[in-house]
Amino acid sequence: MTTVEEQLLPSTEPVRLIDQDGVPHDHPSYRLPTKDVLVDGYVELIKGRRINDQAGALVRQGRLAVYPSSHGQEACQVASSMVLRDGDWLFPTYRDTVSIVSRGVDPIETLTLLRGDWHSGYDPYDRKVAPQSTPLATQLTHAVGVAHAARLRGEDTVVMALCGDGATSEGDFHEALNFAAVFHAPVVFFIQNNEYAISVPLARQSVAPSLAHKGIGYGVPGERADGNDLAGLLAVLGHAVAKARAGGGPQLVEAHTYRVQAHTNADDAARYRPDDEVAPWLERDPIKRLETYLEQEELLDDAVRARAEKAAREVAEKLRDGLMPEPDVDPADLFAHLYSEQTPQLTEQAEFLRDELAREEA
Amino acid sequence: MTHVKISMAQALNQALRDAMKSDETVLMFGEDVGALGGVFRITDGLTAEFGEDRCFDTPLAESGIVGMAVGLAMNGMRPVVEMQFDAFGYPAFEQIVSHVAKMRNRTRGRVGLPMVIRMPYAGGIGGVEHHCDSSESYYAHTPGLTVVAPATVADAYTLLRKAIEFPDPVVFMEPKKLYWAKEEVDLTEDQPGIGTAVVRREGADATLIAYGPTVPVALEAAEVAAAEGRQLTVVDLRSIVPFDDETVCAAVRRTGRAVVVAEASGFASVSSEIVARVTERCFHSLAAPIRRVTGFDIPYPPPKLEKYQLPGVDRIVDAVDDLQWEDS
Ligand SMILES: Cc1ncc(C[n+]2csc(CCOP(=O)(O)OP(=O)(O)O)c2C)c(N)n1
Ligand SMILES: [Mg+2]
């Protein structure tokens, strides 16, 4: 007999189904996803890496205002989207471009925020992806509300709510877990622990045995996974989503990964961490290990490679073509959509700006 | 008397260093202020020089940072905390409004809180949403808070030193677009204290009232107006609370016309307060209603649109042109 506490606590080791050498391992609770799923996942990983590379290049060329890369975290990105159904919701942060694109949102619309032509570029209802949240952890309570509404409406929606390791220190993270637990809301809280919050290492955020342990105080079951093992992540997140969907209430999953690059292009990681800390993580690259495994299983034939390359090439071209030209921005947009009906004051201010610009042009 | 050419960021760093040297109860903490030296490098080198106990990173929680500062200040320390960006101070709003601002009053003067909340603020740096808010009006509206905004390198140094020495909590608004502007300064030279505005330029025709990031823009506008034959006085408030009615009103009475220039949205803001109180005091000296050039009443725009929001030279000069000169 297991105690309630034991049911709430995560595994003693992060769940890992394929190790960094590409070797598969049996797990008492989780099974390797099917070959098809792993092959699809591989294609998404290759595409995700290319999005990060291309966005990195575009920010260097001044086409994006800023880019927080998920390089090295692509397995988390891809898994968080792949385990969802069409009717489910995703609540992403600024770092989750790849997850959002994986969910099927247009890449240019996804990068609107980081390009700087508007705050959020896509229609959240379209693919059921909330606007990316920059104020840390604040989106997590929204996720609870969306999940609770779905339950009240009799829908079997699951909400995937993403945050980083640093964000777990914010009060909102704790309120969201507790609310979700009390309302038994079908939310999967997915922490990408990449060991850093800008310059601050995990040890300064928490001395808990793991971030997944934070669930127990709220009665939320926690689990942890190797964040660079797509197979393990798909299994763990898939299980969490299924449990939440079946009425099991909120679930907390921590993926242990690593932020291989600086926080954003504007950051200088050399100021706070030695290069030799990064090197072993490059060995644990999520793409490399899945590739090795698929090769060994003879699942990576030319057709799959070509499919992956095509997906990557297409998304890169789309980003280049879409982001190289200066975006069309309309100053009148500044006054639109603040209220369902524009206030007289805003109309006046919009007119002021229009006159000013007309005079400048004249 | 040694003149050095430094940026506002360096002056703030020097102020923290000198304050920490002269008083060992001064502590500096927040997000990324340790090894990284702050995302704007304002705390660069402080941990190396003073140790982890004096300048340190906290867990990522602004409410916790400000709340802990309250306790530290209650128990003999002089905490200086950094909110990484204006909009990331909002999680601490409850602590600031309900505790920081009220502690002295609630305790009948028994508990004062000598603490400083440093807040890189305002726009003009191409930041994405939540990185460019002008949030000073929230704090200025809260009785019990002292609110300061330097516009020059010398003031950044002096006002931060004085804020740290101040017996009451100070919200210290740092205009981030001025962080990198360099000036030749003598840091040993004493500058006026908190609560004092300064006339940066004298001119008989009208007064521009500005603070923080709009002071250099107002000075530029005065330059342009001069070329067009209008002499403008420029008042740099430096301190929003307490407000220097005397200096501001004297300038307005001398010139009879005024324009307030602020980056924040105008509605229910510091700029509207300035117009109200100056009008109340100087009505009979005014030749025209006081005009305002402020941000529109909209969320701070994305980088590609921010130029429309920021008060610029042309808008200021236009507003001056509108001050009913035909009647005089
Ligand atoms: C409320 C709030 N405070 C501060 C920030 C500034 N900030 C942006 S990202 C970041 C670090 C976040 O770290 P983590 O949650 O681990 O996510 P990661 O960036 O590593 O993906 C900080 C401090 C913010 N965006 N929101
Ligand atoms: Mg992190």
pLDDT in tens, A179-207: 999 999 999 999 999 999 999 999 999 99
Q: Are residues B74 and B223 in the same domain?
A: no
Torsion of CA B282, B287, B289, B295, to 10 degrees: -100
Distance, in Å, from the CA atom of B199 to the CA atom of B231, rounded to the nearest integer, reads: 14
Q: Return d(Cα A72, Cα A194) in angstroms, integer.
A: 9
For chain A, the average pLDDT equals: 97
CATH code (residue B272): 3.40.50.920
Q: Quick one: which of B72, B239, B78 has its CA closest to B165?
A: B78
Residue B328 lies in a domain: no
**Average pLDDT, integer, range B258-270:** 98
The answer, yes or no, to whether residue B170 has pLDDT greater than 80, is yes
> Looking at the structure, do residues B180 and B205 belong to the same domain, yes or no?
no
Q: Give the model's confidence band at B328: pLDDT under 50 very low, under 70 low, under 90 confident, else very high.
A: low
First to last CA, chain B: 46
| Closest residue by Cα to residue B26 from B164, B173, B160, B146 | B164
User: Which H helix or E strand runs over B82?
Assistant: strand B78-82
Stated as kind and residue range, the H or E segment containing A323 is helix A302-323
**Which A residues 147-166 touch B at CB under 8 Å?**
166
**Amino acid letter, B45:** G
Q: Do B297 and A327 touch (CB under 8 A)?
A: no
Residue B143 is part of a domain; what is its CATH number? 3.40.50.970
Ligand nearest to the CA of A95: 1
Mean pLDDT of B22-33: 98
Q: Which of B41, B60, B317 to mutate to test the interface with A (most CBs of A within 10 A)?
A: B60
Cα of A32 to nearest chain B Cα, Å: 36
User: Which atom of ligand 1 is nearest the CA belonging to A197?
Assistant: 13
- Is residue B213 domain-shared with residue B172, that is, in the same domain? no
Q: Are residues B174 and B298 in the same domain?
A: no
Nearest residue to A238 via CA among A3, A17, A43 = A17
Is A174 catalytic? The answer is no
Query: Would the pLDDT of B327 be above 70?
Result: no
End-to-end Cα separation, chain A, in angstroms: 82
pLDDT at A86: 97
CB-CB neighbors (< 8 A) of B318 in chain A: 356
The two structure tokens encoding residue A128: 């059921």
ipTM: 0.97
Is residue B292's pLDDT more than 90?
yes
State how far the Cα of A192 lies from the Cα of A141, in Å rounded to an integer: 18
Instruction: Mention every residue, 6+ apart, whose C-beta is less than 8 A from residue B107.
Output: none
Taking CA–CA distances from A266, the nearest residue in chain B reads B39
| B191 belongs to a structural domain | no
- What are the tokens at B254? 């001398």
Do B26 and B146 fall into the same domain? yes
What positions of B carry a catalytic annotation? 131
Pocket of ligand 1 (CB under 6 A): A 95, 134-136, 163-167, 194, 196-198, 259, 263; B 31, 60, 84, 88, 91
Structure tokens at B316: 């200021």
The protein residues having their C-beta less than 5 angstroms from ligand 2 (an ion) are: A 164-165, 194, 196-197
From B185, B220, B243, give the residue that closes a domain. B185
For B204-257, write each residue's pLDDT tens digit. 999 999 999 999 999 999 999 999 999 999 999 999 999 999 999 999 999 999
Could you please report the per-residue DSSP string of A326-345? PPP--GGGGGTTSSSS--HH
How far apart are alpha carbons A139 and A187 in whole angstroms? 12
Range of the domain at B237: 198-321
Q: Is residue B113 part of a domain?
A: yes
With beta carbons under 8 A apart, name residues in chain A contacting B299: 119, 338
Mean pLDDT of B174-199: 96
Q: Taking the model in full, what pTM does it have?
A: 0.97
Is B326 within the bounds of a domain? no
3 state SS of B146? strand
- Based on the fold, state whether residues B291 and B217 are members of the same structural domain: yes
Distance CA A60, CA A66 (A): 9
CB pairs under 8 A between A and B: 107
> Which amino acid makes up residue B152?
T
Asked if residue B310 and residue B203 are part of one domain, the reply reads yes
Q: Which residue ranges of chain A lie beneath pLDDT 50?
A: none
The backbone region for A298, taken as left when phi is positive above 0, alpha when psi lies in -120 to 50, beta otherwise, is left
Q: Note whether B156 and B276 are same-domain residues.
A: no
Looking at the fold, whether B81 and B15 belong to one and the same domain comes out as yes
β B182-185/B4-7 pair status: antiparallel
CA distance A240 to chain B (A): 27
Spatial neighbors of B225 by CB under 8 A, at least 6 apart, are B203, B205, B231, B232, B317, B320
Q: How far apart are CA B192 and CA B169, in angstroms?
A: 19
The Å distance, Cα A136 to ligand 1 centre, comes to 6
CA distances from B208 to B12, B80, B255, B260 (A): 26, 32, 10, 6
Contacts with B60 from chain A: Cβ below 8 Å: 136, 166-167, 169-170, 197, 200, 205
pLDDT band per the 50, 70, 90 thresholds, residue B2: confident
**Distance between CA atoms of residues B43 and B32, nearest Å:** 9
Q: How many domains does chain B have?
A: 2
Please report whether residue B303 resides in a domain: yes
Q: Report the gap between the CA of B121 and the closest CA in chain A (Å).
A: 15
Query: Is B123 within a domain?
Result: yes
pLDDT of A21 reads: 97
CA neighbours closer than 13 Å in the CB half-sphere of residue B4: 13
Residues 98-137 of A with CB under 8 A from B: 113-119, 134-136
Mutate to test the pocket of ligand 1, among B63, B81, B88 (most ligand atoms within 8 A of CB): B88
Q: What is the pLDDT of residues B81-140, one digit of tens each?
A: 999 999 999 999 999 999 999 999 999 999 999 999 999 999 999 999 999 999 999 999
Q: What is the pLDDT of residue A129?
A: 98
Cα–Cα distance list, B102 to B91, B99, B107 (Å): 18, 5, 8
pLDDT in tens, B39-89: 999 999 999 999 999 999 999 999 999 999 999 999 999 999 999 999 999
A258 catalytic, yes or no?
A: no
Please choose from A91, A113, A136, A204 the residue to mutate so as to test ligand 1's pocket, defined by most ligand atoms within 8 A of CB.
A136
Residue of B nearest to A269 (CA): B36
| Structural domain contains residue B266 | yes
Q: Are residues B310 and B207 in the same domain?
A: yes
Candidates B296, B306, B314, B317, partner chain A, best to mutate (most A CBs within 10 A) = B296
- CA-based nearest residue to B69, from B156, B172, B169, B147: B169
Backbone angles phi, psi at B106, to 5 degrees: -60, -35
- pLDDT of A298 reads 96
Q: Is B166 in the same domain as B218?
A: no
Which residue is catalytic, options A272, A273, A305, A307? A272
Pick the catalytic residue from A259, A284, A289, A293: A259
Average pLDDT over residues B261-266: 98
| Alpha-carbon span A335 to A346, nearest angstrom | 6
Other Cβ atoms within 10 Å of B109 Cβ, number:
9
Residues B157/B11, Cβ–Cβ less than 8 Å: yes
pLDDT of residue A2: 83
User: Residue A166 is nearest to which of B60, B128, B303, comparing CB atoms?
Assistant: B60
Least distant ligand from the CA of A76: 1
d(CA B220, CA B140) in angstroms, rounded, equals 27
Of B146, B163, B185, the position where a domain reaches its end is B185
Residue A68 CA to residue A265 CA, distance in Å, equals: 7
The verdict on B52 and B166 lying in the same domain is: yes
At A205, list the tokens.
């955020």
Final residue of a structural domain among B164, B185, B206:
B185
Q: How far is the CA of B89 from the centre of ligand 1 (A)?
A: 13
Is B302–A119 a contact, with Cβ atoms under 8 angstroms apart?
Answer: yes
Residue B1 binned pLDDT confidence (cut-offs 50, 70, 90): low
Nearest-atom number in ligand 1 for the CA of A170 is 1
Nearest CA to ligand 1 atom 11: A197
Which of A109, A326, A329, A359 is the best mutation test for B, with the most CBs of B within 10 A? A329
Instruction: Name the closest ligand to CA B59.
Output: 1
How far A171 CA sits from the closest chain B CA (Å)? 7
* B44 Cβ neighbours under 8 A, 6+ residues apart: B13, B37, B38
Amino acid (one-letter) located at A140: L
Kindly tell me the burial class for residue A347, based on how many C-beta atoms sit within 10 Å of its own C-beta (0-12, 13-18, 19 or more).
exposed
